[in-house]
Amino acid sequence: MIGPRRWPAHPAPIPGEALSSWLHRIAACYGIDLTLLGDDIGFTLGRSAADDIDMVPPSGMIDVLTERTGVTVDRMRQMSVDGGVPWLLDTLEPVPDCFETYARQLSVLRPPGTQNTRDVPRWRPWLLSPHLPTRACPECVAASPSPHPYLLLWAIPIVSSCPVHGCWLEDPLTARGYFGMWELEPPTSRPAPEHILTLDQRTHDAFTIGQVELPRRNVHAGIWFRLLRTIIDELSCPISGSRKVVTDLIRQVWAQAGYRTRDGQAFWYPYEQQPEPVQRHTMEAAATAVMLLENGSITGLGNDSDLFRPVPDSVISDGTPPPQPPTRAPFLPIGERLSLREAFTAAVEDARVNPAGARTLFNFAAYKHNDADQIHDVVNAFIELAIPLDFHRTTPNR
Ligand SMILES: [Zn+2]
């Protein structure tokens, strides 16, 4: 037993740290391990405790930790994958049609609706087994004291590099969070190419500030994660039966990335079920696709490819005055009423171009809906209606 209530001394969590990493470091302060720390706060932690905690902390654990450390519930929730609901993933529990909903509503490289419908039972974006990957940035680890903190993002195969140090993540070949081998023999970090670092910086931004800067506009984190997963799907799907313009485009991206088309895979598996090297190559191909879209080397055939289109350097006017935007009376004349359908259409049109209108509509749609499932339905509806979610900012401690 290390203390009845508030722990007198403990390290503060670092930005992006996984919950299990922080608990490891608190336990180390008292010279105990995670299991004993769990006993102290009334939770029996098994052998896979670190993965369980980083996926979904046991019910009630966060409240006890808040009491012991003073760190807020919101802050702590962001230290597990569960805190990514509903932006990173709609829900932690797999639901029917989740794959089509998440990975097929947007389109970048391929025309919309041209891939075979896939029913992937128990699919969740970015995650496969309860065991999270063990990768880490060798430079981040070398720069921190033992026990070295590790980031939640390293455990999700949605990034492959460290934008801070410009290097690939590496596998320490031990259980996640243990870096003994690296302390004995520090690995040589390998520089990652610029387009990978750019992609991963955006994903870091999505996690940390809730939005991502693209050439033509900022997009909400929820849109970014789905855009990225969409591009991965478009690169992974079979190309047989597709129009030549599509197959040429997909082949060009893979060739530019330096790999065979679809990394030579004969059968289709969702990204989450691909072997680790195939996942890595597919993410490289996705980063390559974004680079080629943004430098104008390729043109996407999907509805959302414009997001990656480069902004023209300058527009030279020929003297013609720009067209006036259509004017709309702010209020209807007295006595005129919109039908419900007309009112809804007007609200959606306004929300597409007006963040304040989008916020109002979101708040209205989400009124009294407090659980993640209901909120994610609203988010999906916004995505379907092409209403940007930019208005939604995460709070500083989330
Ligand atoms: Zn690093």
The pLDDT tens digits for 134-151 are: 999 999 999 999 999 999
Distance 151 CA to ligand 1 centre (A): 10
Nearest to 56 by CA among 26, 93, 25, 22: 93
Percent of the chain residues topping a pLDDT of 90: 66
User: How many whole angstroms separate alpha carbon 162 and alpha carbon 202?
Assistant: 12
Distance 166 CA to ligand 1 centre (A): 7
pLDDT confidence of 228, banded at 50, 70, 90?
very high
- The rounded mean pLDDT for the chain is 85
pLDDT exceeds cutoff 80 at 106: yes
- Of 49 and 292, the structure prediction assigns the larger pLDDT to 292
Task: Collect all residues with Cβ–Cβ distance below 8 Å to 246 and sequence separation of at least 6.
Answer: 109, 110, 111, 114, 239, 301
Q: What are the residue ranges spanned by the domains of the chain?
A: 19-84, 98-143+159-308, 340-384
Distance 203 CA to ligand 1 centre (A): 15
Distance 15 CA to ligand 1 centre (A): 13
pLDDT exceeds cutoff 80 at 364: no
In three-state form (DSSP H/G/I as H, E/B as E, the rest C), the secondary structure along 13-36 is: CCCCECHHHHHHHHHHHCCCCHHH
Task: Region of 113 please: left (phi>0), alpha (psi -120 to 50) or beta.
Answer: left
Distance 188 CA to ligand 1 centre (A): 12
User: How many whole angstroms separate alpha carbon 83 and alpha carbon 85?
Assistant: 6
Q: How far is CA 374 from the centre of its chain?
A: 20
Residue written as token pair 């990768």: 135
Distance 172 CA to ligand 1 centre (A): 14
Distance 290 CA to ligand 1 centre (A): 23
pLDDT at 116: 86
pLDDT confidence of 329, banded at 50, 70, 90?
very low
pLDDT exceeds cutoff 60 at 4: no
pLDDT exceeds cutoff 50 at 10: yes
pLDDT exceeds cutoff 70 at 327: no
pLDDT exceeds cutoff 50 at 306: yes
Distance 90 CA to ligand 1 centre (A): 29
Distance 164 CA to ligand 1 centre (A): 5
Distance 136 CA to ligand 1 centre (A): 8
Distance 67 CA to ligand 1 centre (A): 32
Residue written as token pair 């508030």: 6
Local structure of residue 58 (DSSP, 8 states)? P
pLDDT at 371: 53
pLDDT at 375: 59
Percent of the chain residues topping a pLDDT of 70: 81
User: How many whole angstroms separate alpha carbon 35 and alpha carbon 137?
Assistant: 26
Q: How many residues does the chain have?
A: 398
pLDDT at 263: 98
Local structure of residue 12 (DSSP, 8 states)? P
Mean pLDDT to the nearest integer, 43-60: 90
Distance 150 CA to ligand 1 centre (A): 10
pLDDT exceeds cutoff 90 at 78: yes
pLDDT exceeds cutoff 80 at 132: yes
pLDDT at 94: 83
Q: Evaluate whether 169 touches 160 at the Cβ level (below 8 Å).
A: yes
Residue 123, φ and ψ in degrees, nearest 5: -80, 140
- Of 229 and 59, the structure prediction assigns the larger pLDDT to 229
Distance 88 CA to ligand 1 centre (A): 22
pLDDT at 299: 97
User: H or E segment at 107?
Assistant: none
Q: Evaluate whether 88 touches 126 at the Cβ level (below 8 Å).
A: yes
Q: Which two tokens stand for residue 395?
A: 């709070």
Distance 222 CA to ligand 1 centre (A): 24
Distance 101 CA to ligand 1 centre (A): 33
pLDDT confidence of 396, banded at 50, 70, 90?
very low
Distance 128 CA to ligand 1 centre (A): 25
pLDDT at 262: 98
pLDDT at 130: 75
Mean pLDDT to the nearest integer, 328-345: 47
CA dihedral 231, 233, 236, 240 (to 10 degrees): -100
Distance 231 CA to ligand 1 centre (A): 26
pLDDT at 319: 55
pLDDT at 128: 85
Distance 161 CA to ligand 1 centre (A): 8
Distance 139 CA to ligand 1 centre (A): 5
Mean pLDDT to the nearest integer, 168-173: 94
pLDDT exceeds cutoff 80 at 391: no
- Of 235 and 349, the structure prediction assigns the larger pLDDT to 235
- Of 296 and 368, the structure prediction assigns the larger pLDDT to 296
Distance 105 CA to ligand 1 centre (A): 33
pLDDT exceeds cutoff 70 at 156: yes
User: Which range is least confidently modeled, 1-5, 30-34, 327-331, 344-348?
Assistant: 327-331
Q: CA geometry: angle at 88 spanning 86 and 89, to 5°?
A: 60
pLDDT at 283: 98
pLDDT exceeds cutoff 70 at 376: no
Distance 179 CA to ligand 1 centre (A): 14
How confident is the model over 177-186, as pLDDT tens digits? 899 899 999 9
User: How many whole angstroms separate alpha carbon 139 and alpha carbon 131?
Assistant: 24
